Chains A and B, each alone.
Chain A
């Protein structure tokens, strides 16, 4: 089971003077249970791409296959697809609108026409999954901190019981602790509950730490698609695309240039620490 993009092309304002090709023949497949990062500079086509995956935008060319079926075929239930592929937009807390947290999370499942009991069960479950404290269920969403609001917004999407969740920069504007908490919860949803995750991020450090695979968009094309250690090896090309590698990659590269044989596929602080301690004979070099 998977979501697959086949020669996906999208042109804004086709046939007008402002015609702009935002996607140019993009191909990939994301399998169930994968944790994928999507990076690319502003305007590279990331947002356009993710809006195709749950049918918010319709491709001008190519196809999207969900579990092997084209979502563009006649009679395809796009409404059901949007329940299966949940999209969490940037700054999702701006979309909170109910008078209390619990009602806000209930809004999605209520629209599915479920029984009151089932709606509440799902809302409670979703709020638990994001680690939201029960004593705050009755609070107005507007009285919460930035990190809490964002968790409520994510719970609202989780309450739809998606199979895949796409998050567009879920940590923008959060402090380091809030960032680690949100990403930790997303990681748990993936590892423990098997939810497929596509994480859009501008933080190379975050991507390096959490995802199994990175897709890099550049000028509407998929420039790289592979494990973080493979992708960040191309740091010079990434820089030319307005991106970068995690800080740690640069430290490792510099050590290598100066004759220290550190593994050049290291992308996190923990890996680098273990490798350097190993070289210094301080043991524990293998564990990460």
Chain B
């Protein structure tokens, strides 16, 4: 089943002057079509201004289509009566953890969402327990979020979304402000939620390494989807990606450079282990190699 479906989606940012007259219209999404299967892990790539964050905000009704329709689990996001259901189904995590945490204690912060929608107290605590366990933050539950590292704060933000029991989580560059360790923690947590809880993940990122493990990679450019395939296929199109102001993982880039230099390597190498395995037979027997 498709948890997300967008048909002919158009979104215009409209700027008005003091007299409410339209001054400028810029089209962020341009007749975009998208279907995402429940339980999949999808990475969304695209340069700044490509429309990917606008797309993310369409998925839980923060923005509504100018034209076209978005369905989340068959609910039309433009139907006001369904808005809360839509937001419960599709949760969002943003770039800056400090903007998303409001509680003085970790467990209170996580409880904020379910409390707001009137979940009975015993059920709230059950959800808080589960969410903190799933994000590996249970041992920090009595702590103040201020004293946590960036990666830990971001995991608290994810736990807060989880406590709403969503079926889909959209993460808009959740690791952009984190150090390498924080990045690893957050990506591991996201992957685990996808695998163990079957939660659909839409991960928007500028780190190509984070897209390697996705089931599917979507590239957005000019408000349209311009590439849509499995990571191995996407990252074998190095020159095309560079045209869209994107990049490839370093292992892929090195493989590409070597191919340019005449080395016979297979297409679409993603991981460093793959590159090493492909290189070893070629290097064996060369001067100084064992």
Chain A residues near B47: list those with CB within 8 A: 175-178
Least CB distance from B276 to A in Å reads 5
Task: State the CA gap A148–B20 with chains docked (Å).
Answer: 28
Task: State the CA gap A71–B103 with chains docked (Å).
Answer: 40
Known contacts: A174-B48, A246-B250. The answer to whether A281 contacts B286 by CB under 8 A is: yes
The answer to whether the Cβ of A78 comes within 8 Å of any Cβ in the partner chain is: no
Cβ of B287 and Cβ of A42 under 8 Å apart? no
Least CB distance from B278 to A in Å reads 11
The answer to whether the Cβ of A79 comes within 8 Å of any Cβ in the partner chain is: no
The answer to whether the Cβ of A172 comes within 8 Å of any Cβ in the partner chain is: yes
The answer to whether the Cβ of B246 comes within 8 Å of any Cβ in the partner chain is: yes
A-B contact count (CB 8 A): 130
Interface size class of B (residues with CB under 8 A): 35 or more
Chain B residues near A272: list those with CB within 8 A: 254
Chain B residues near A178: list those with CB within 8 A: 47-48, 245
The answer to whether the Cβ of A14 comes within 8 Å of any Cβ in the partner chain is: no
Q: Which residue of B lies closest to A261 (CB)?
A: B288
Task: State the CA gap A169–B287 with chains docked (Å).
Answer: 42
Chain A residues near B150: list those with CB within 8 A: 42
Task: State the CA gap A243–B247 with chains docked (Å).
Answer: 22
Cβ of A261 and Cβ of B289 under 8 Å apart? yes
Cβ of A276 and Cβ of B258 under 8 Å apart? yes
Task: State the CA gap A247–B95 with chains docked (Å).
Answer: 23
The answer to whether the Cβ of A202 comes within 8 Å of any Cβ in the partner chain is: yes
Least CB distance from A180 to B in Å reads 8
Cβ of B261 and Cβ of A259 under 8 Å apart? no
The answer to whether the Cβ of B257 comes within 8 Å of any Cβ in the partner chain is: yes
The answer to whether the Cβ of B210 comes within 8 Å of any Cβ in the partner chain is: no
Cβ of B180 and Cβ of A202 under 8 Å apart? yes
Least CB distance from B189 to A in Å reads 16
Cβ of B258 and Cβ of A248 under 8 Å apart? no
The answer to whether the Cβ of B181 comes within 8 Å of any Cβ in the partner chain is: yes
CB within 8 Å of A: which B20-34 residues: none
Interface size class of A (residues with CB under 8 A): 35 or more
Task: State the CA gap A204–B179 with chains docked (Å).
Answer: 10
Cβ of B276 and Cβ of A277 under 8 Å apart? no
The answer to whether the Cβ of B273 comes within 8 Å of any Cβ in the partner chain is: yes
Contact partner of B254 (CB less than 8 A), chosen from A244, A258, A273, is A273
Interface string of A249-269 (1 = CB under 8 A from B): 011001100111100000001
The answer to whether the Cβ of B228 comes within 8 Å of any Cβ in the partner chain is: no
The answer to whether the Cβ of B62 comes within 8 Å of any Cβ in the partner chain is: no
Cβ of B179 and Cβ of A173 under 8 Å apart? no
Q: Which residue of A lies closest to B282 (CB)?
A: A280
The answer to whether the Cβ of A99 comes within 8 Å of any Cβ in the partner chain is: no
Cβ of A146 and Cβ of B48 under 8 Å apart? yes
Task: State the CA gap A147–B280 with chains docked (Å).
Answer: 41
Q: Which residue of B lies closest to A281 (CB)?
A: B286
Contact partner of B279 (CB less than 8 A), chosen from A41, A244, A250, A276, is A276
Cβ of A279 and Cβ of B287 under 8 Å apart? yes
Chain B residues near A243: list those with CB within 8 A: 179-181
The answer to whether the Cβ of B253 comes within 8 Å of any Cβ in the partner chain is: yes
Task: State the CA gap A255–B254 with chains docked (Å).
Answer: 13
- Of A40, A174, A258, the most chain B CB neighbours within 10 A belong to A258
The answer to whether the Cβ of B65 comes within 8 Å of any Cβ in the partner chain is: no
Cβ of B176 and Cβ of A173 under 8 Å apart? yes
Chain A residues near B272: list those with CB within 8 A: 247, 250-251, 254
Interface string of B238-266 (1 = CB under 8 A from A): 00000001110111011001100111000
Chain A residues near B183: list those with CB within 8 A: 202
Contact partner of B253 (CB less than 8 A), chosen from A145, A269, A284, is A269
Contact partner of A247 (CB less than 8 A), chosen from B251, B257, B258, B283, is B251
Chain B residues near A244: list those with CB within 8 A: 180-181
The answer to whether the Cβ of A242 comes within 8 Å of any Cβ in the partner chain is: yes
CB within 8 Å of A: which B42-90 residues: 46-50
The answer to whether the Cβ of B104 comes within 8 Å of any Cβ in the partner chain is: no
Contact partner of A176 (CB less than 8 A), chosen from B176, B245, B276, is B245
The answer to whether the Cβ of B182 comes within 8 Å of any Cβ in the partner chain is: yes
Least CB distance from A35 to B in Å reads 21
The answer to whether the Cβ of B121 comes within 8 Å of any Cβ in the partner chain is: no
Q: Which residue of B lies closest to A180 (CB)?
A: B247
Chain B residues near A254: list those with CB within 8 A: 272-273, 276
Mark B residues whose CB is within 8 Å of A: 46-50, 95, 149-151, 173, 176-183, 206, 208-209, 245-247, 249-251, 253-254, 257-258, 261-263, 272-273, 275-276, 279-280, 282-283, 286-290
User: Known contacts A145-B48, A146-B49; can you find 16 more A-B pairs with CB under 8 A?
Assistant: A41-B179, A41-B182, A42-B178, A90-B177, A174-B48, A175-B46, A176-B206, A176-B247, A259-B290, A260-B279, A260-B289, A261-B289, A269-B253, A269-B254, A276-B254, A279-B286
Q: Can you list 13 residue pairs at the A/B interface with Cβ under 8 Å?
A: A42-B182, A173-B95, A175-B47, A176-B206, A177-B245, A202-B178, A255-B283, A259-B289, A259-B290, A261-B289, A276-B283, A279-B283, A280-B282
